[in-house]
């Protein structure tokens, strides 16, 4: 009888632990922002890492646009590949746990889009198609920046 109580207690403790983990994984470390956006709270170094990645995506976008303007598909492919999924492969798991699921999903989809743009450019797809892909990707950037802000602890 005593072992049944211990087993039930252990199972309940496990369920609570899993529920807390899932909630934190989905919600991340967030608070209400000052401008109707949700603030993601990170350590100063983590915040700088995320902002640096965003600046990298902006530089990639500039490289893609310049390549498209010069009809240089090799440049487009190189620029886009620099911000593809490979660039997101070594992100610290502790940082990822602090980011809300929808933020992570948007971010990963942008990296995936960059791989798609690089592939399309390497295949010689028309400029108009690449511009459309880039426009769709930038819409995700706008959605993310409209919904989230990054604050240091």
How much is the pLDDT for 23? Answer: 62
> What contacts 61, CB < 8 A, 6 or more positions away?
134, 138
77 with 122: CB under 8 angstroms? yes
Owner of token pair 């965003």: 54
**Tell me: the pLDDT tens digits for 91-149?**
888 888 899 999 999 999 999 999 999 999 999 999 999 999 999 999 999 999 999 99
> Residue 63: which CATH number?
1.20.120
How much is the pLDDT for 79? Answer: 98
Please give the tally of structural domains in the chain: 1
Please say if the pLDDT value at position 15 is more than 80. no
In a 3-state reduction of DSSP, which class is residue 92?
Answer: coil
Cα dihedral 17, 24, 91, 87 sign: positive
Q: Helix crossing, 44-69 with 101-122: angle to 10°? A: 30
Quote the domain boundaries for residue 55. Answer: 2-152
> What contacts 84, CB < 8 A, 6 or more positions away?
111, 112, 114, 115, 118
Separation between Cα atoms, residue 132 and residue 70, nearest integer Å: 17
83 with 60: CB under 8 angstroms? yes
**Tell me: the pLDDT tens digits for 34-82?**
899 999 999 999 999 999 999 999 999 999 999 999 999 999 999 999 9
Partners of residue 30 on adjacent β-strands: 40
């Amino acid at each position: 009888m005593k072992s049944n109580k211990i087993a039930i207690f252990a199972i309940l403790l496990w369920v609570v632990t899993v529920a807390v983990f899932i909630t934190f994984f989905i919600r991340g470390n967030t608070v209400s922002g000052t401008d109707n956006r949700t603030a993601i709270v990170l350590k100063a170094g983590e915040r700088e890492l995320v902002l640096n990645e965003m600046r990298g995506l902006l530089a990639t976008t500039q490289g893609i646009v310049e390549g498209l303007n010069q009809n240089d598909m090799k440049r487009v492919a190189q620029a886009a590949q620099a911000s593809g999924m490979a660039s997101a492969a070594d992100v610290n798991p502790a940082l990822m746990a602090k980011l809300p699921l929808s933020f992570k999903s948007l971010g990963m989809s942008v990296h995936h889009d960059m791989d798609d743009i690089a592939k399309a450019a390497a295949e010689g797809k028309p400029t108009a198609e690449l511009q459309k892909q880039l426009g769709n990707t930038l819409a995700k950037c706008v959605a993310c920046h409209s919904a989230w802000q990054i604050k240091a602890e």
